[in-house]
Chains A and B, each alone.
Chain A
Amino acid sequence: GENVEQHPSTLSVQEGDSAVIKCTYSDSASNYFPWYKQELGKGPQLIIDIRSNVGEKKDQRIAVTLNKTAKHFSLHITETQPEDSAVYFCAPGPGRDDKIIFGKGTRLHILP
């Protein structure tokens, strides 16, 4: 089955700086690469996704890059703001038996 690893588990960056979170996966058949954001007291919510026929996708201050050969994809947040403080999850898929398997999450702290 899919083995998903996320790094780092915790990340602190100064407000205005950039943050990068990396997700590695094991299933070479994966072709969908989403990132979810979980704010305090809420369920995770999709913020950006990419499919395997595209190498990079950008939406304002967030971007996702994909390296299918190396089996990893990354979330990039530029010009970080306090509201970016949250836990971020990757969930490459589709998984075995139609499951959705998440990474363990990255807690991002934006320092004033």
Chain B
Amino acid sequence: DVKVTQSSRYLVKRTGEKVFLECVQDMDHENMFWYRQDPGLGLRLIYFSYDVKMKEKGDIPEGYSVSREKKERFSLILESASTNQTSMYLCASSLPRAGNTEAFFGQGTRLTVV
């Protein structure tokens, strides 16, 4: 059974902290994605990666960075957490030509910044 695993279901962090959200997939997928989900705004793409050490900005990259040192792991980094980054974060992976194949999602991490 294919699996995308996010390290935490719930996180509470303080304003100004550096926050790491981890995602691991076991399907040997080349592409990995980070989205944030807010009510009424749907899924917005933050960053994606199509290979190890490769990354591309999505639609809302400001305040975030990413790291992909190994094929199976894609990390989202909030350099200095702010309250407007309180949200649900979803990681996904897919085969190449990502828009033409199924995306597999993790269960999500609900981050609260206080």
A: residues with CB less than 8 A from B are 6, 9, 30-32, 34, 36, 41-46, 49, 89, 91-95, 97-105
Question: How far is the CB of B92 from the nearest CB of chain A, in Å?
Answer: 7
Q: How far is the CA of A34 from the CA of B102 in the complex (A)?
A: 8
Question: Given A41-B107, A42-B107, A49-B102, A98 and B92 touching (CB < 8 A)?
Answer: no
Can you list 21 pairs linking A and B with CB atoms under 8 Å apart? Answer: A6-B42, A32-B101, A41-B108, A42-B107, A43-B90, A43-B92, A43-B106, A46-B102, A46-B103, A89-B42, A89-B43, A93-B99, A93-B100, A95-B98, A98-B97, A98-B98, A99-B99, A100-B48, A100-B92, A102-B42, A104-B42
Main SS at interface, chain A: loop
B interface residue count range (under 10 / 10 to 19 / 20 to 34 / 35 or more): 20 to 34
Question: Given A43-B107, A93-B98, A98 and B40 touching (CB < 8 A)?
Answer: no
| Contact call A104/B102, Cβ cutoff below 8 A | no
